[in-house]
Chain A
Amino acid sequence: MVTNITNLGRSGLSDWLIQRVSAIILAVYAVFMVLYLLFHPGLDYATWSGLFSQTWMRIFSLLAFISIAAHAWVGLWTVSTDYLKQTGVRFAFQAVVMLAIFVFLVWGVQVLWGA
């Protein structure tokens, strides 16, 4: 048993599950986006804005944003504990990553509901 306090779910099992579930959500979102762009070759602002003005698309997008935030935190936390052996450097890296994820998430919410 190894104790950790900086990983996302405090447990390897929950981190593992979060990583798998978020990966599925991101895959679905990515496939949807690619298909949408393929089926709208002459995409203009009105169509794009119209897509994101619908509640279901905002919920779907927010779900994808939260998924990428969780996915990035679990993944980069793992990378940092593999390769950054000095505690100060590792903690600084984790703090920067966490701050960036938080900023991008809040910004994403503002973009979705602000327009």
Chain B
Amino acid sequence: MSTLQISIYRYNPETDSAPYMQEFELDTQGRDIMVLNALEMIKQQDSSMAYRRSCREGVCGSDGMNMNGKNGLACITPLSEVVKDNKLVLRPLPGLPVIRDLVVDMGVFYKQYESIQPYLQNDTNPPATERLQSPEDRDKLDGLYECILCACCSTACPSFWWNPDKFVGPAGLLQAYRFLADSRDTATRERLARLEDPFSLFRCRGIMNCVAVCPKGLNPTRAIGKIREMLLSNAT
């Protein structure tokens, strides 16, 4: 068995004048481990290497990174899925400022998420127990609420790369539709009004990079289409 060649983006702004790629060799003993496991083994070789991780099972969304050119979660991506010709190139999520190595500043991503007001808004008096929903209405939230905000989708989107301050991005828009589709939310009109300008939603060109990379198998492009339909039926 030959050893795996791993090339990792390194940048420490305190000591490096520019980012560079560092080569590592890793003996996986023929096992098909996850990329995160490989990173942890590399961390044993060089403890200065920085990356985010937490749950290691695709729930927390901390270890989103670019693996051989495709965004995904390192913890649930087996080597067999990404390694080509025994080589693996790991880079931080594209388009976001790098804090160090594979750690990016998610500030602008969270700001866009905040802009869609990701919480239930209801101006009627709350009932004594809870706001009930029919099973059919609850079904409408499937495929929306599962998002873990790992930013794999938004950082795979060229529209988000060019205008991260103006375009909400696929992750934010998926959540925008999650509240637009919620039968208990009464702020639909206000939510739609905030999205009808040429940037917030309409900068989506429907190239579906977001769908291709989502580690949870969600479909932001479909949600964006649904919001567009809602805007259109309101305005025509």
User: Contact residues of A with B, CB < 8 Å?
Assistant: 1-4, 7, 11-17, 78, 81-83
Chain B positions 199 through 236: 1 when the CB is less than 8 Å from some CB of chain A, otherwise 0: 11111000000000000000000000000100110011
Q: Which residue of chain A has the shortest Cβ distance to B159 in the bound complex?
A: A82
User: Contact residues of B with A, CB < 8 Å?
Assistant: 159, 162-163, 166, 193-203, 228, 231-232, 235-236
Q: By DSSP majority rule, is chain A's interface helix, strand, loop, or mixed?
A: helix
Q: Which residue of chain B has the shortest Cβ distance to A77 in the bound complex?
A: B198
Is A11 touching B163 in the complex (CB atoms < 8 A)?
A: no
Bound-complex Cα distance A23 to B184 (A): 38
Is A16 touching B202 in the complex (CB atoms < 8 A)?
A: yes
With A2-B166, A16-B228, A82-B162 given, is the CB distance from A11 to B198 under 8 Å? yes
Is B198 touching A12 in the complex (CB atoms < 8 A)?
A: yes
Q: Which residue of chain A has the shortest Cβ distance to B167 in the bound complex?
A: A2
Q: Count A/B pairs, Cβ under 8 Å.
A: 49
- What residues of chain A lie closer than 8 Å to B159, measured between beta carbons? 82
Bound-complex Cα distance A15 to B228 (A): 12
A-B contacts, 13 of them at CB < 8 A, read A2-B197, A2-B198, A2-B200, A3-B197, A4-B198, A11-B196, A12-B199, A12-B200, A12-B201, A13-B202, A13-B231, A17-B236, A82-B163
Q: Which residue of chain A has the shortest Cβ distance to B196 in the bound complex?
A: A13
Bound-complex Cα distance A47 to B195 (A): 50
B108 to chain A, nearest CB (A): 14
Is A4 touching B196 in the complex (CB atoms < 8 A)?
A: no
B232 to chain A, nearest CB (A): 7
Q: Which residue of chain A has the shortest Cβ distance to B115 in the bound complex?
A: A1
Bound-complex Cα distance A7 to B166 (A): 15
- What residues of chain B lie closer than 8 Å to A17, measured between beta carbons? 232, 236
